[in-house]
Structure 1
Amino acid sequence: MEAAMLASAVGFLLLAWVGASAGDEAREEAAVRALVARLLGPGPAANFSVSVERALAAESGLDTYSLSGGGGGAPVRVRGSTGVAAAAGLHRYLRDFCGCQVAWSGSQLHLPRPLPAVPGELTEATPNRYRYYQNVCTHSYSFVWWDWNRWEQEIDWMALNGINLALAWNGQEAIWERVYLALGLTQSEIDDYFAGPAFLAWERMGNLHTWGGPLSHSWHLKQLYLQHRILDRMRSFGMIPVLPAFAGHVPKAITRVFPQVNVTQLGSWGHFNCSYSCSFLLAPKDPVFPLVGSLFLWELTKEFGTDHIYGADTFNEMQPPSSEPAYLAAATTAVYEAMIAVDPSAVWLLQGWLFQHQPQFWGPAQISAVLGAVPRGRLLVLDLFAESQPVYVRTASFQGQPFIWCMLHNFGGNHGLFGALEAVNRGPEAARLFPNSTMVGTGMAPEGIGQNEVVYALMAELGWRKEPVPDLAAWVSSFADRRYGAVQQDAEAAWRLLLRSVYNCSGDACRGHNHSPLVKRPSLQMNTTVWYNRSDVFEAWRLLLTAAPNLTNSPAFRYDLLDVTRQAVQELVSLYYEEVKAAYMNKDLVPLLRAGGLLAYELLPALDVVLASDSHFLLGSWLDQAWAVAVSEAEAQLYEQNSRYQLTLWGPEGNILDYANKQLAGLVADYYQPRWCLFLEVLAHSLAQGIPFQQHQFDKNVFPLEQAFVLGKRRYPSQPQGDTVDLAKKIFLKYSPRGISGSL
């Protein structure tokens, strides 16, 4: 009986979208043909025949592609049941038959001539309805300053990787402005409420308000323009964009307009005080709740149309005012009923992070209250951190509600080589085989993108596989070959070492957040423990440098060499820090000065210089993106300050200090290095004077340095300088630990 109910719930969700995904085949076909031309150029694109045929998926109802042809000058025929399926089929051909790769850091698209033949006809159907992409936070950590050109590249990447369900949350503040004005709020009250661009993700989830704002009229107009183009392109591929819905959070000014309104002020979030946090939450049974929720969704869908899936998070990292199941059920019901009042076909996409983040609050009764308040099949749950801490296991597959197995992987958009590839490889199949499983998809939900591309390549491939990759070592060797466009044994060996070390995380260490001393405010309490042997990283570094003469023409190789060099320097910082700490504890000034001098005055400057050799690691690139969005000097300065704050202090008092740390040229030299220098000076002074080191006093003294960087006006280069290979080799020869096998 239970299994039948689960199947019914999942079946409802699947059937609900057969009609929604059965749009114009010709439009999707044209979209994929345009993608091929953008990706390969018009000449090579002429060698591919693309068609979209719904009948391909008639048997399973799941996205399906078919490949045939090629060889001897014959065109390669790519057919897909949707535009996304056709794009995924094209990507499969480029990857597995041509040895190509499409990646954030740049693509390797050297096509063999003639194009390789596909033996017979290769047909593949995805095992799941959905391949989901994004995290609410990704919009702030990675997408915030994007223009249409960058969005177009990303949507192409999504299509090629088979993504068919993704957030589309740009422009919603412009809609909220209309709603609040219609409700009677003043423009100044609205301006005071919205957070700045780099912090909108948390305002959208009710965690923050005001901080980093206000938003200008030009910002709203640009985001509306972007949203229309994003939605049009997503829909042209047959993707389902997820629009935002009302979760219950309102500006404090609502109490002026409706003096009798029943609101609860929630607690603060992220070490902010109530000037920027402490959201106001409407009581679920207050008549203003459906008024606000329905008005917003009506305005939103009038502007953008709808594909009937909406995202909302009422209690993201915020404890509800009551643990009573009746209250939690009522709060959930209020959100859902505001959706279906406007769209009777609405399905609610819920981030399951709340159940994982506060397990002490979300016991069985509380979870049941939320999951049971929405009809089965109308709540689609993202098991957001399933590669490390899956929630479906302890909730009996979310008690019958459909869910998507997600890999979160990255927190804050940090640099740092990291992954749990074994867990990622096995996880989707385990969830699919779980008793009475209601899994309907896989997903990638990083807080920030543009890092650890091997992890996302694997996860995207798993969205189309019915079983795990049988041999990850062989898979990662092939990944290296495709990435560089050449078979190079030293490069393959380097990647196998990375697989068994930084990409082999398991257990509690798999948080995906970089805690390296390099990017943290210095103290004597920093933990340098890692789950792998650092010698593997150093040896991979050496092997990549050994491979360099054969791969210097590969931009992806240069990027990876720099990334591994950056990681090796990060490891060296930890080792030098341990020497500094030991010398301080032993009251030995000379070794403290020696190790500290190498760390702060030689190694960090060398890191800054090598980072400057690649445009992906430039602070100037990040800041220039912010300036490009602005229409006035004042707006540009506000956006730059948003950008600097997010990377460093995050809030006005270092409220979430260094959470979104990056290793960028300029940031290392002007933010990380000065505070390391101060730390070492204070330690040396402490030893010389025979007085204890006081962390709280150091924190007070270093804060002005951190704040000076955030408020600074210095412009940074946005064009790379220097040769990555030469600079990486110099660092290796000077700093690599003794004992690394072989030589360059």
Structure 2
Amino acid sequence: MGRAGVLQVLALLLVSRAGADVSGDEAREAAAVRGLLTRLLGPRAAAGFSVSVERALAPAPDADTYCLSGGGGTPVQVTGSSGVAAAAGLHRYLRDFCGCHVAWSGAQLRLPEPLPEVPKKLIEITPNRYRYYLNICTPSYSFVWWGWERWEREIDWMALNGINLVLAPVGQEAIWRRVYLTLGLNQTEIDEYFTGPAFLAWGRMGNLHTWGGPLPSSWDLKQSYLQYQILERMRSFGMKPVLPAFAGHIPKAFTRVFPQANVTKLDNWIDFNCTYSCSYLLAPEDPLFPVVGSLFLRELAKEFGTDHIYSADIFNEMDPPSSNPAYLAATTAAVYEAMVAVDVDAVWLFQGWLFQNHPDFWKPPQMKAVLEAVPRGRFLILDLFAESQPVYSRTNSFYGQPFIWCMLHNFGGNHGLFGVLDAVNRGPSTARLFPNSTIVGTGIVPEGINQNEAAKMGASRKGLFALLVGLMYRVKPLPFAQQQTLVWVTGEIRSHLLQTLLVNDSGLISIPSFSFGI
């Protein structure tokens, strides 16, 4: 089918809107937290808790709240304004009242008997509308070979840490394959385009194609089924999964089907030659741009539902072909307009890494062109490396767009005893005090997990990752209390460990992550 024919046929599809909205209710979310409780502690210990979800507990719609009471011979009462709020309250009780610890590497869950009493009703209200998790690279560095059992544990960890906004990229290649076939590409061309499983993060951002491919023949079906399970569980807690959207990157074979398409070949990414890099970018003014973008998003929403927040990265670690602000604004607007053509409530989650990664290109006129190309409030920016090199402070708070203060901490999942504890502890509150601040949340965005346990569980009260998720329900920084984390990890204080970690607190875990090789 030629270009005109595809445009005519697919334009009819743009009339429809995205798939049905997916929202939980109080009973469903409370049941999800009770399920978590049983998986974590077992049915006997779980019987010592009573969990409920009451939206009215929150003083405002975006102010998630939890309340703890009881214990000491009566059931511990855990109430949250959402499932993730209740789970965060449960985690607070286990951590601070029982000395327990739940981490990526395992858990220490020796409960006192009877369960300790909460002496005075404890209520916490988060100042963060969003508590975000995941870097777009994390699935490739850490998650790529996971099955449901490991994903279930990770989603439980997210809930316990109050995460309510999380990247959910699994299964998108099956949708892209469907779209490309509809557009006229053949199976061989599509197989040649996709990277192998471990490199999909960079294929999705347009950095790579073909490298490590093709995907296994069973990949699409298995990943789609896994995504159904992931999304159902996330939504059952009240989390909002962030699904992908079209950023403009297309296979080379697209030009065979549409030889008149306005396409730009980008430069190579780092040291990859054009056999595996040099992606093709569809021009924003080409009439096929909204067709491809809307077709993909509609198919995605039909398959997986939608929570109206989408991720797309156009120029990740790749300079655009033009620094003209008008070009940058037009490209950005084209991506957003393809979203709202399908979902009028679409919000674009955008990694701000490009602004930090190449400041020589991204000067104020270029950054402003991108950030003002989307209606204010419909762009949600991740200030990805804010613990070390925040961007909000040199863009007047992203020129009025809402942003999430994020801790990146590690590159490539590299291991090392490093971290900037004080910067993490004070960073979110400093961002809130910035003139005309548009901060709406905090996030943890490591490129890899299962690393740096000493920094994560070190001599600070919360460690590093644990510190930031602890701050998600606080307005002000935490005072440090060196012994607390050791109680969580071991169940008792061992003096030689405490002495060692005190040395680390004044040295190693004050070293910024960019001091180590990437």
Give the TM interval when normalised to the shorter protein: over 0.9
1:511 aligns to what?
Answer: 514
1:62 aligns to what?
Answer: 63
1:459 lines up with 2:468 in the alignment: yes
1:374-420 superposed Cα distances (whole Å, 9 cap, x missing partner): 00000000000000000000000000000000000010011111111
Once the two structures are TM-superposed, the CA of residue 164 in structure 1 deviates from its matched residue by 0.4
More helix, by proportion: 1
Residues 27 and 53 in structure 2, CA contact (< 8 A), matched pair in contact too: yes
Once the two structures are TM-superposed, the CA of residue 85 in structure 1 deviates from its matched residue by 0.1
1:364 aligns to what?
Answer: 364
1:496 aligns to what?
Answer: 502
108 and 456 in structure 1: CA distance in 2 versus 1, 3 angstrom threshold: same
What are the equivalent positions in structure 2 for 1:50-449 lying under 5 Å apart?
A: 50-59=51-60, 61-71=62-72, 73-449=73-449
Amino acid at match of 2:468: M
1:80-104 superposed Cα distances (whole Å, 9 cap, x missing partner): 0000000000000000000000011
Q: TM-score, normalised by structure 1?
A: 0.65
Once the two structures are TM-superposed, the CA of residue 493 in structure 1 deviates from its matched residue by 1.7
Once the two structures are TM-superposed, the CA of residue 21 in structure 1 deviates from its matched residue by 9.1
3-state DSSP of counterpart to 1:102: strand
| Distance in 1, Cα, partners of 2:423 & 2:80 | 30
| Distance in 1, Cα, partners of 2:505 & 2:193 | 46
| Distance in 1, Cα, partners of 2:306 & 2:487 | 42
Residues 130 and 441 in structure 1, CA contact (< 8 A), matched pair in contact too: yes
Amino acid at match of 2:506: R
| Distance in 1, Cα, partners of 2:506 & 2:449 | 22
Once the two structures are TM-superposed, the CA of residue 60 in structure 1 deviates from its matched residue by 6.2
Find 2:478's aligned residue among 460, 469, 472. Answer: 469
1:543-589 superposed Cα distances (whole Å, 9 cap, x missing partner): xxxxxxxxxxxxxxxxxxxxxxxxxxxxxxxxxxxxxxxxxxxxxxx
1:442-500 superposed Cα distances (whole Å, 9 cap, x missing partner): 000000000124221111101111111122xx2x4211121111122221222221221
1:22-73 superposed Cα distances (whole Å, 9 cap, x missing partner): 63111000000000000000000000000000000144641100000000x2
1:590-617 superposed Cα distances (whole Å, 9 cap, x missing partner): xxxxxxxxxxxxxxxxxxxxxxxxxxxx
Residues 22 and 306 in structure 2, CA contact (< 8 A), matched pair in contact too: no
255 and 60 in structure 1: CA distance in 2 versus 1, 3 angstrom threshold: closer
Q: TM-score, normalised by structure 2?
A: 0.93
| Distance in 1, Cα, partners of 2:148 & 2:257 | 38
| Distance in 2, Cα, partners of 1:160 & 1:78 | 12
Residues 22 and 305 in structure 2, CA contact (< 8 A), matched pair in contact too: no
2:38 aligns to what?
Answer: 37
| Distance in 2, Cα, partners of 1:271 & 1:33 | 49
Amino acid at match of 2:68: L
| Distance in 2, Cα, partners of 1:292 & 1:59 | 39
| Distance in 1, Cα, partners of 2:431 & 2:251 | 40
Once the two structures are TM-superposed, the CA of residue 292 in structure 1 deviates from its matched residue by 0.6
More strand, by proportion: 2
| Distance in 2, Cα, partners of 1:22 & 1:241 | 11
Residues 477 and 493 in structure 1, CA contact (< 8 A), matched pair in contact too: no
1:483 aligns to what?
Answer: 489
Residues 480 and 495 in structure 1, CA contact (< 8 A), matched pair in contact too: no
387 and 329 in structure 1: CA distance in 2 versus 1, 3 angstrom threshold: same
Q: Which runs of 4+ in 1 moved over 2 A?
A: 20-23, 58-61
What are the equivalent positions in structure 2 for 1:533-612 lying under 5 Å apart?
A: none
1:614-642 superposed Cα distances (whole Å, 9 cap, x missing partner): xxxxxxxxxxxxxxxxxxxxxxxxxxxxx
Amino acid at match of 1:29: A
Show structure 1 runs of 5+ residues with no match. Answer: 1-19, 516-658, 660-744
Amino acid at match of 1:53: E
Residues 141 and 412 in structure 1, CA contact (< 8 A), matched pair in contact too: yes
Higher RCO (C-alpha under 8 Å, 6+ residues apart) = 2
Residues 133 and 165 in structure 2, CA contact (< 8 A), matched pair in contact too: yes
| Distance in 2, Cα, partners of 1:275 & 1:204 | 17
3-state DSSP of counterpart to 2:508: coil
| Distance in 1, Cα, partners of 2:506 & 2:232 | 42
The sequence identity of aligned pairs, in percent, is: 70
Tell me the matched-pair count.
Answer: 489
| Distance in 1, Cα, partners of 2:349 & 2:60 | 27
| Distance in 2, Cα, partners of 1:146 & 1:432 | 37
Residues 424 and 468 in structure 2, CA contact (< 8 A), matched pair in contact too: yes
403 and 420 in structure 1: CA distance in 2 versus 1, 3 angstrom threshold: same
| Distance in 2, Cα, partners of 1:61 & 1:103 | 27
Residues 426 and 468 in structure 1, CA contact (< 8 A), matched pair in contact too: yes
Show structure 2 runs of 5+ residues with no match. Answer: 1-20, 457-463
Residues 100 and 111 in structure 2, CA contact (< 8 A), matched pair in contact too: yes
1:319-353 superposed Cα distances (whole Å, 9 cap, x missing partner): 00000000000000000000000000000000000
Once the two structures are TM-superposed, the CA of residue 105 in structure 1 deviates from its matched residue by 1.0
| Distance in 2, Cα, partners of 1:362 & 1:414 | 27
1:420-451 superposed Cα distances (whole Å, 9 cap, x missing partner): 11111110000011000000000000000001
